[in-house]
Amino acid sequence: MTLLSLKNIYNSEKVAVSYEIFPPKNDDNFEKLNKLYLELEALKKYSPELISVTYGAGGSNRCLSLDIISYIYNNFNINVMPHFTCICSQKSDIKTYLSEIEKYEIKNILALRGDEPKDITVCYRDFRYANELVEFIKSVTTLSVAVAGYPEGHIDAPDLDFDILNLKRKVDAGGEVIFTQMCFDNDKFYRYIEKIRSANITAPIVFGMLPILSFSQFEKMMSMAKVSVPKKLLEDLYKYKDNPDDIKKLGIDFATEQAEDLLASELINGLHFYTLNKAYSTSKILDNLHLFSDNK
């Protein structure tokens, strides 16, 4: 596989599949890390265009992120897209990280503001907003830069229109592809696309899909983001909340139907799965879609 930039991946007619993974919280937990690699091995057969690797605010977990990037580079020959967050970061921190990833032929970066640490009142150094980070990365590298989009608005934004203005700043600063936050309502997602196109934002859009794995995971994610849930889905989640297997099946079935509708719309350039480091549900969804397996 030839490693490609975002421009090449998302300017083709093919809808690309990609995954997000995160480093285990405890960098001494080799068992969790090895399990993550086994999960990735199971997902490799769907020929993902890239795998994104998170790290925390201020660069926490950075060393472990680099270990994961190195493993993917050496064992999978798949594009890796590290996350860069700028909260609590200085330009020197970003430059150091950029130099560290050079040896892995990284072509793509996801530039984010990041969440402010809860134990610090104010943590701005050289950057306050993601568009400043995008502009800086583009000024010192030739990397393709992805940015985040929020179909129902960022949790800190007063409304969706304000958030779209921020998205335009990120794209105008050099953001080339938009990876969206999870969204469970396609009608709201399509209205979001209309709004961003009306704002003269023409960048390709990659839909962020979160398979619901458990009721507790669903509750946690809802508390962290501005996301609405269709009434029928919410009723079913509460109906089966004490049955983990039924919740997992519900999550797979709902995501499959949602993805089928999104693909039929021809409005997206990719499906980006927030795997939560688990292969099962993402694999089942992709099997249901009959599009991405290398055995097709």
Residues with a catalytic annotation lie at 20
- How far is 290 from 287, CA to CA, in rounded Å? 5
> What is the residue type of 280?
Y
Q: How far is CA 114 from the centre of its chain?
A: 13
Q: For the CA atoms of the chain, what is the radius of gyration? A: 18
Return the residue matching tokens 């990735």: 40
Pairing of strands 108-112, 205-209: unpaired
The size of the chain, in residues, is 296
* Residue 277: partners with Cβ closer than 8 Å, 6 or more residues away: 21, 22, 24, 35, 36, 39
Torsion of CA 68, 283, 209, 57, to 10 degrees: -20
- How far is 122 from 284, CA to CA, in rounded Å? 43
Question: Taken in order 40, 46, 50, 52, is the CA torsion positive or negative?
Answer: negative
